[in-house]
Every structure is written in C-alpha cells, then in structure tokens.
Structure 1
Amino acid sequence: MKNHKKINPENLIETLELPKDLILGMPVISLTGNCEILIENHRGITDYSEHQMIVLSKEFRIQIDGECLNVEYYTGESMKIRGQIHQITFLP
C-alpha cells in the first residue's frame, strides 16, 4: 500500500514561485505614506465612516482607522482610500 502525502497548496505555490494574490485571492495592499491606501483583490466594504472603514478580503477583514477617510475610487478589483490613516488592523 502506498503512502500518499497531502500537498499543502501554499507550500506548492511557494515552491513554484506563483503569485499568491492571483492563486489564493490574497489582497494586495499598497500604502503611500499615511494618506493613501490601495487595496486590490477585495470583496467589498462592510463599514464606512470618516473615522473607520472595514474592507473584506477572502481570508480576513482589513480595518482602517483614521481621520477624513473617503473612498477615492472603487471597482470590483481595487479601491483607493484617502485621508489621515492612523492604523491598519487585520481581523479574523
């Protein structure tokens, strides 16, 4: 009888050097100082105020705290949030 090892998809992706954002749907987050955040591969916004925004991703939620936060643009694939960003937290 053969022993079959289960292959961990994340290990395979790393070994093959494949982009995790495309294969696993992980978000790509880019900051410009503390005044702009670009989020790619999002799944929408659940909470929106000028002091806090919560953005859904495939695996977790991204909480952005700050002042004068607003969405500069929003598409099905990416969004840009501007304002004074104080903190970014990853929530389960």
Structure 2
Amino acid sequence: MKRMRKRVNQWLTGQLQLPADIVYDYPRITLIGDIHLYIENHQGLLTFESDLIEVKQPSGMIRVEGENLVIKNLLRKEIVIEGKISAIHHNE
C-alpha cells in the first residue's frame, strides 16, 4: 500500500506538477523576519511556553524557540506564532 501511494504521489508531483507540500502532506512554514511565523498543515499543539512552542506535523515535530512567544491564531490546519523567534527545528 505504501509503495502504491508513493508512486501515485510521485506521479502527481511530476505529471500534474502539483506542489510537493500538498501531495506529501508537508507543512508549509513562512517566517517573516524573526517576529512572525506561520505554519500550515500542522496536526496540533504539543507544547506552549513563552520560550518554546512545539507543533506536531505529519513527519515529526516543529520546535520553535524564542522569547515572549504567543499564539496569535490557532486553526485546525494553521497556526500563527509571534514573538522574538531565535530558532526553528524539525525533529522526526
């Protein structure tokens, strides 16, 4: 089953030129300066502290480190984080 799904995803991205983040369910991360972070396609909030936010996503976890971090918007598939962002890590 996994092999078939992988072949279908490769065909979708190759032949139909669909973006890989949509086909493979990857998160889309947009950082504006070091104060505004937008994450699409997340699967929930794991940790929320003023210096650490961890967000679950299909292939692991996104770890956001910084100061005075706040969640400005939290929707089913989108999250907006603001504050002084010092690092973003992806852990599988």
TM range, smaller chain: 0.7 to 0.9
* Identity fraction in percent: 24
Separation in structure 1 between the aligned mates of residue 67 and residue 56 of structure 2, nearest angstrom: 20
How far, CA to CA, are the matches of 1:12 and 1:60 in structure 2? 24
In the aligned structure 1, how far is the partner of 2:49 from the partner of 2:22? 30
Backbone CA RMSD of aligned residues? 1.6
SS at match of 1:31: strand
In 1, Cα distance between equivalents of 2:10 and 2:23: 12
> Post-superposition shift, 1:10?
4.8
Unaligned runs of 5+ in 1: 1-5
Unaligned ranges ≥5, structure 2: none
Q: Which moved more, 1:57-66 or 1:13-22?
A: 13-22
Q: Which has the larger radius of gyration?
A: 1
- The 8 Å contact of residues 67 and 85 in structure 2, kept in 1 or not, is answered as yes
Give the structure-1-normalised TM-score: 0.85
Q: 1:15 aligns to what? A: 14
- Alpha-carbon distance in structure 2 between the residues aligned to 1:9 and 1:91: 26
1:44 equivalent to 2:71? Answer: no
Question: Using the alignment, how far apart are the partners of 2:23 and 2:30 within structure 1?
Answer: 19
In the comparison of the two structures, how many residue pairs are matched? Answer: 87
Q: By percentage of residues, which structure has more helix?
A: 2
Aligned to 2:86: 86
Kindly indicate which of the two structures has a greater share of residues assigned to strand. Answer: 2
CA distance in 2 between counterparts of 1:8 and 1:88 reads: 31
